[in-house]
Amino acid sequence: MKQSTVDALVAGGLDPAWVDDLVRRALAEDLGDRGDVTSQATIPAGQAGVADVVARSGGVVAGLPVAVAVLDIVLESPVAGAGIEQHVADGDRISPGDVLLTVTGPTQRLLTAERTMLNVLSRASGVATATRAWADELAGSGATVLDTRKTTPGLRALEKYAVRCGGGTNKRLGLYDVAMIKDNHVIAAGGVTAAYDAVRRTYPDVDVQVEVSTVDMAVEAVRAGATFLLCDNMPPAQLREVVTAVGPQIQLEATGGLTLQRAREYADTGVHYLSVGALTHSAPIVDIAMDLRGR
């Protein structure tokens, strides 16, 4: 990858080595042992072309540095006249017909890169678009939309990047960076306090969040030392009870069964966060295409 692409990935919080591995695996999946047989058969190897990457539907764009990384890798051998012109930035709102990138290079290579590049852009932009709808709905409420671990296997870093592009906030990245005490942990450990104490003894430097489903559980968790509670499947009235019971110093997150139509109602209970698995597990793609200009 070009240094400018590496710099853009780092600036967005993406690991260039992870992106390089992702792109090469995606290309290998597409090309197999023979490569792009259609393009190799129909297009002379020396033919140059210009292509526009165009939005077919509206939304919020995300994934451009990864798309550029695809092009860098496919065009990795020096090619005279090859270039990439970027017309928008990640996080920008786009409309049907907007040109996101213009790419110049050998036509065969452009078509080889096409599907991998579009898969990245369409998927990431879909997540960013879904997130932006929630962020807009919560604007001014004091509550923030969070993502979850309900991500596409192998694409978590990309999808969580897309959430940031859409105005959301990442929660934990995996099982390693935050201890999340859920109902099964409570059952296995013998209670909320026992589970909390066990995590604190074993990993004293790790942030801990406790999932609660009743006001009594919330109070018990706070008495054990918890400062961050995940309120699971609580209706707004019950959330207000928890807010009153634990006080303003405790961070509260609502989750479970949340809908965009009721987002503001939940935010107005006084919770700090709404976590929404649908940002990543159910976001429809943004339709993006690559159009080769005529000769």
pLDDT at 45: 86
Q: Whole-prediction pTM value?
A: 0.94
pLDDT tens digit sequence for 242-294? 999 998 899 999 999 899 999 999 999 999 999 999 999 999 999 999 999 97
Set 115, 149, 200, 264: catalytic member: 115
Question: How high is the pLDDT of residue 227?
Answer: 95
Average pLDDT estimate for 7-27: 96
Termini Cα distance of the chain:
29
Summarize the confidence of residues 219-224 as an average pLDDT: 96
Catalytic residue (choose from 159, 211, 220, 253): 211
Which stretch of 46-50, 53-57, 114-118 has the lowest confidence by average pLDDT?
46-50
Supply the pLDDT for residue 295.
62
240 a catalytic residue: no
Q: What pLDDT does residue 117 have?
A: 97
**pLDDT at residue 173 in the model:** 93
CATH of domain 3-127+284-292: 3.90.1170.20
- Give exposure, 232-255, as e/b (b: 16+ Cβ within 10 Å): bebebebbeebbeebeeebebbbb
Give the mean model confidence (pLDDT) for residues 55-80: 90
Rounded average pLDDT over 206-227: 96
Mean pLDDT for the stretch of residues 82-99: 95
Catalytic residue among 90, 147, 232, 253: 232
Q: Which distant-in-sequence residues (6+ apart) come within 8 Å of 78 by Cβ? A: none
Catalytic residue of the set 56, 182, 223, 293: 182
Where do you find CATH 3.90.1170.20 in the chain? Answer: 3-127+284-292
Q: What is the pLDDT of residue 252?
A: 97
Distances (CA, A) of 97 to 15, 51, 57, 59, 106: 31, 14, 8, 12, 24
Our answer to whether residue 291 is catalytic in this structure is no
Active site residue 211: yes
* Residue-level pLDDT at 82: 73
Q: Tell me: the pLDDT tens digits for 164-198?
A: 999 999 999 999 999 999 999 999 999 999 999 99
Measured between alpha carbons, how far is 245 from 285 in angstroms, rounded to an integer? Answer: 41
Look up residue 4 and give its amino acid.
Answer: S
Question: Has residue 65 got a pLDDT over 90?
Answer: yes
The pLDDT tens digits of the residues spanning 146-157 come to: 999 999 999 999
DSSP state of 283: P
Catalytically annotated residue among 2, 149, 150, 264: 150
- pLDDT above 90 for 46: no
Of 3.40.30.10, 2.60.120.260, 3.20.20.70, 3.40.1160.10, which CATH number belongs to 136-281? Answer: 3.20.20.70
* CATH 3.20.20.70 intervals, the chain: 136-281
Mean pLDDT over 139-164 rounds to: 96
> How remote is the C-alpha of 214 from its chain's centroid?
30
- Which pLDDT band holds residue 79 (cuts at 50, 70, 90)? low
The alpha helices in 75-191, defined as continuous H runs, are 107-138, 156-165, 183-189
- The secondary structure element, H or E, covering residue 43 is none
Lowest mean per-residue pLDDT among 11-15, 44-48, 61-65 = 44-48
d(CA 163, CA 128): 5
